[in-house]
Amino acid sequence: MKIEKVEGVVFSYPTRRAVDEDGHSHPGPEVLARMAMITIHADTGDKGYAFAPPEVVRQHVLDAFVRPVLIGQHPLQREKLWKSLEHRQRGSAGQLTDRALAVVEQALWDLAGRALNTPVYQLIGGYRDKVPAYASTMCGDEIPGGLSTPEDYAAFAERLVARGYKGIKIHTWMPPVRFAPNPEMDIKACAAVREAVGPNIALMIDGYHNYSRIDALRIGRELEKLNFAWFEEMMNEQSMESYAWLAQQLDIPILGPESLSGKHYSRAAWIANGACDILRAGVPGVGGITPALKVAHLAEAYGMDCEVHGNGAANLAVCAAIKNCKWYERGLLHPFLEYDDVPAYLHSLSDPMDDDGYVHLSQKPGLGEDINFEYIQAHTVATY
Contacts with ligand LLH by CB under 6 A lie at 24, 136, 139, 171, 206, 258, 309-310, 329
Q: Measured on CA atoms in the order 237, 238, 244, 249, is the torsion positive or negative?
A: negative
C-beta of 19 vs 269, nearer to ligand LLH? 19
Nearer to Mg ion, 105 or 258 (CB): 258
Residue 307, contacted partner among Mg ion, ligand LLH, none, CB below 5-8 A by kind: none
CB 81 to Mg ion: min, Å: 29
Q: How far is CA 302 from CA 211, 268, 274, 277, 295, in A?
A: 28, 10, 11, 10, 11
Task: Say if residues 281 and 295 touch (Cβ distance below 8 Å).
Answer: yes
> Which entry of ligand LLH, Mg ion, none binds 167, CB below 5 to 8 A by partner kind?
none
**From the CB of 190, what's the least distance to Mg ion, in Å?**
15
We find the least distance from the C-beta atom of residue 311 to ligand LLH, in angstroms, to be: 9
Give the footprint of Mg ion on this chain (CB under 5 A): 206, 258
Looking at beta carbons only, is 166 or 209 nearer to ligand LLH? 209
- Note whether 351 and 315 are within 8 A (CB): no
Q: Which residue number, 82 or 230, has a Cβ lying nearer to ligand LLH?
A: 230
Task: Please choose which of Mg ion, ligand LLH, none residue 98 contacts, taking the beta carbon within 5 to 8 angstroms, the exact cut-off set by kind.
Answer: none
Q: Which does 139 bind (CB under 5 to 8 A by kind): Mg ion, ligand LLH, none?
A: ligand LLH
Backbone angles phi, psi at 23, to 5 degrees: 90, 10
Contact yes or no for 325/307 (Cβ under 8 A): yes
What is the nearest approach in angstroms of Mg ion to the Cβ of residue 69?
Answer: 31
CB of 132 to ligand LLH, least distance (A): 16
As measured in angstroms, the least distance from the Cβ of 35 to ligand LLH is 17
Picked from ligand LLH, Mg ion, none, the partner binding residue 171 (CB below 5 to 8 A depending on kind) is ligand LLH
Long-range contacts of 288-291 (CB under 8 A, 24+ apart): 288/82, 288/101, 288/102, 288/104, 288/105, 288/106, 289/102, 289/105, 289/106, 289/109, 289/120, 289/124, 289/314, 289/317, 289/318, 290/78, 290/79, 290/82, 290/105, 291/82, 291/263, 291/264
* Residue whose beta carbon is closest to ligand LLH: 24
- Rounded CA-CA distance 44/160 in Å is 46
Q: Report the DSSP pairing between strands 279-281 and 306-308.
A: parallel
Among ligand LLH, Mg ion, none, partner that 366 touches (CB below 5 to 8 angstroms by kind)? none
310 binds, among Mg ion, ligand LLH, none (CB under 5 to 8 A by kind): ligand LLH
For ligand LLH, the closer CB: 134 or 345: 134
**Count of positions (residues) in the chain:** 384
Measured distance CA(35)–CA(152) in Å, rounded: 32
**Shorter beta-carbon distance to ligand LLH: residue 24 or 58:** 24
Residue 46: HSE in the Cβ half-sphere, 13 Å Cα cutoff:
22
In the complex, what is the shortest distance from the CB of residue 113 to Mg ion, in angstroms, rounded to a whole number?
28
